[in-house]
Structure 1
């Protein structure tokens, strides 16, 4: 998200079973950032708790109710800047046999521009389960003299405000949609965002263009059926409250994108947010392939089907879900037509670089050969480099800015575990690497954790990332641990110990 931060992210979405079975609460947290001209920046959190994962007990009125204790702490340079600890009550029910609802919590925290460590702890007060705690770095940066865009808040429902409350923005009470997944039963994607400082940039009553659209997440190609624009007049705060009918949007990974453009159509600032769509009844449209001519193109000389199919398979790390399904059902089958294969490969690169698709392909092929050398391994059970998790991440996002490589740690946590007898079991880690990117797709401080649980050469698996669309495992540190005596290890606080230090403070 240009010019400031990735302002809406999934912080965690964790499912650890039923609270009655002694496990964690199942909840989902989103956060967003806004700016008030009179009060400054504020940080807004949206927490949705799955009722069936909470322990309900009888209250004074004779009804059953769940109670969640939530602690949120914002620190900067080890000093607490803002803090809140409160209890979230579920709706009351007469019977706990069929609890099929979620209950929502929304909070606002005033925070000046800066980088903060944001920690949240959540505990079911009616359960013996330990609290769940996790943290993430957040960056707030709204310039006073440059145009900027707030967070993109997904909206489940809205109504006109009768009395201002925590849900109120611009005269509306907005109930957030606290997920980044849209199943086929939901066919409307509604969102809210604000644009700041347009008057300072365009002048009083100045005009500008506000574009918003849906693009493929993997290749950033906008979908022409989902492109909209508004002509705006500069105000202290311009509001975008809009929606898309996604009935015909195929299954896949996407971004909502907002752009502010000037009269010369130059992009001054943009913002985007990831979401997923499941829509199995809608087939992707590949009619543009049939219209391509491969004569005199770089694919014309690719006449060996096996070689051509290998090239097409190597595109998987940067392909959309629609493209991968087309390959699976149209090309990766016996008797697939050579001409269709050639047209597909040409179309793939024309969509990514219309001016010089051949150059784009050759650049990518060099990267494919590099990851095959670095991460691939031979043998009957071997993999091409692009088929490995490390190779896929490298091809999709490029080389990381730093890598923490820990082939073996005698003790990754500094803790010892008593196995119930007089002896103590030592704990260490399997080999692991942490890749750190300063910026990915306008989002800062992105990390990928790879582990080699089988202690086999080259066999590193991605076990956690804070990049939207990738596996997000709040308990990834437990996956690193090994016990010399074979004893079971308990859960530990997220991002503590030595591995947590490497994750939080990349070298």
Structure 2
């Protein structure tokens, strides 16, 4: 089955940003997985799976002029039973065992910032899937079993009169390519995936690849506007100096490639966002991808506040941002505050509610900083980095 489904498996050793925490190192193997989906045909979608394996987390055997590490791996992609129509099959799309092999010439130079990257491509019907990866126990290496699971959503990108956006491939580097057989080749490019989504120290640029479909049917003009920007994970508005608005020719599909320099961003979790706009500045389609930055030498700026800061902060927020902040406030709200929140209908009333909510909790003597709000969002940022899932915010998970 894998021979039919697996179009490519590619391996590369790349240099990236070492994780600041030991969470990945506590696993038997430093293994991360990510994915993106793209248009294939009218019935199926192309799914790309990205794996990274920490080079320093492996055991190597001397083999001539090189050192070799082997990792047996079982990959299973199956429809999610809860979302499948009654009577639909939950038989795996593929369920295969393989052995990943990695070779280096010198193990003494391996550190936490080096990792191997693999890419697998398959075509499958749209739907909700669960991807399970299992590295079995190795008694000889005293390595316990490792299991990872990832929820995978595969959209239908079939031709329609609606603009749609593919998944986003986060990359550690994108280059022009002439050879179709080149590693990670796609549409004339070599796109080296970054499954960890970690940037900053050692990997200061976030490269990205994304495709847009259905624009000719959705846009009457010959051009459209693409807004690309970075936002903090808890605030969807663009960060100053990290947004671009470009005019592009309508194509089918349109391939978007670019990069942002994040070497001066403070450590934290962020979103890379795309908005495809028509002549009226209305969003035809939107897409986003979460990534992380580790820059230990960059301090996060403290925003100075005047007396009306909370009011002005929420006054400039979009309705979507206000609703997100109301969901955050529910975590701390009293029963009386929840009851009041349930009666709010007007957007201005919601803004005033949020301003008063945080002002009541700012009990210190420093008028320049709302310490309660700042502490809450620092904790939320910490939880987002560790516990958020593609379908569940961190504060709604058991650990967040």
Q: TM-score with structure 1 length normalisation? A: 0.55
Deviation of 1:123 after TM superposition, in Å, equals 4.3
| 1:220 has 2:185 as partner | no
In the other structure, the counterpart of 2:186 is 169
Are the equivalent residues in 1 in contact too, given 2:277–2:285 (CA < 8 A)? Answer: yes
1:261-315 CA deviation, whole Å, 9 max, x = no partner?
Answer: 122211121011112334443552736x4xxxxxxxxxxxxxxxxxxxxxxxxxx
Superposition RMSD in Å? 3.9
In the alignment, the residues of structure 1 paired with residue 282 and residue 117 of structure 2 have an alpha-carbon distance, to the nearest angstrom, of 40
| 1:200 has 2:217 as partner | yes
Structure 1 gaps, min length 5: 1-12, 18-22, 290-339, 375-384, 398-434, 451-461, 464-469, 471-507
Provide the secondary structure at the position in 2 that maps to 1:250. Answer: coil
Deviation of 1:366 after TM superposition, in Å, equals 11
**Bigger CA radius of gyration:** 1
Distance change >3 Å, CA 371–CA 85, structure 1 → 2? farther
In the alignment, the residues of structure 2 paired with residue 367 and residue 197 of structure 1 have an alpha-carbon distance, to the nearest angstrom, of 43
Q: 1:344 aligns with which of 309, 313, 320?
A: 309
Provide the secondary structure at the position in 1 that maps to 2:144. Answer: coil
Deviation of 1:96 after TM superposition, in Å, equals 3.7
Distance change >3 Å, CA 235–CA 120, structure 1 → 2? same
In the other structure, the counterpart of 1:119 is 132
| 1:48 has 2:52 as partner | yes
In the alignment, the residues of structure 2 paired with residue 371 and residue 242 of structure 1 have an alpha-carbon distance, to the nearest angstrom, of 48
Q: Which has the higher contact order (CA 8 A, sep 6+)?
A: 2
Are the equivalent residues in 1 in contact too, given 2:200–2:263 (CA < 8 A)? Answer: no
Distance change >3 Å, CA 217–CA 96, structure 1 → 2? closer
Matches within 5 A, 1:428-439: none
Provide the secondary structure at the position in 1 that maps to 2:334. Answer: helix
Task: Name which of structure 1's ranges 136-145 and 245-254 shifts more when overlaid on structure 2.
Answer: 245-254
In the other structure, the counterpart of 2:72 is 69
Deviation of 1:445 after TM superposition, in Å, equals 5.5
1:138-181 CA deviation, whole Å, 9 max, x = no partner?
Answer: 22112421221111111212332232245112201111123233
Number of residue pairs aligned between Structure 1 and Structure 2: 320
Structure 2 gaps, min length 5: 1-21, 80-88, 340-371
Matches within 5 A, 1:435-450: 444=391
Provide the secondary structure at the position in 2 that maps to 1:223. Answer: coil
Matches within 5 A, 1:78-97: 78-93=90-105, 95-97=106-108
In the alignment, the residues of structure 1 paired with residue 149 and residue 303 of structure 2 have an alpha-carbon distance, to the nearest angstrom, of 42
In the other structure, the counterpart of 1:7 is none
In the alignment, the residues of structure 1 paired with residue 192 and residue 285 of structure 2 have an alpha-carbon distance, to the nearest angstrom, of 27
Distance change >3 Å, CA 367–CA 260, structure 1 → 2? same
1:350-399 CA deviation, whole Å, 9 max, x = no partner?
Answer: 34369xx9xx99x959962239999xxxxxxxxxx99999xx88xx99xx
In the other structure, the counterpart of 2:269 is 253
In the alignment, the residues of structure 2 paired with residue 386 and residue 371 of structure 1 have an alpha-carbon distance, to the nearest angstrom, of 19
Q: TM-score with structure 2 length normalisation? A: 0.68
Matches within 5 A, 1:270-309: 270-279=286-295, 280-284=297-301, 286=303, 289=305
Distance change >3 Å, CA 447–CA 170, structure 1 → 2? same
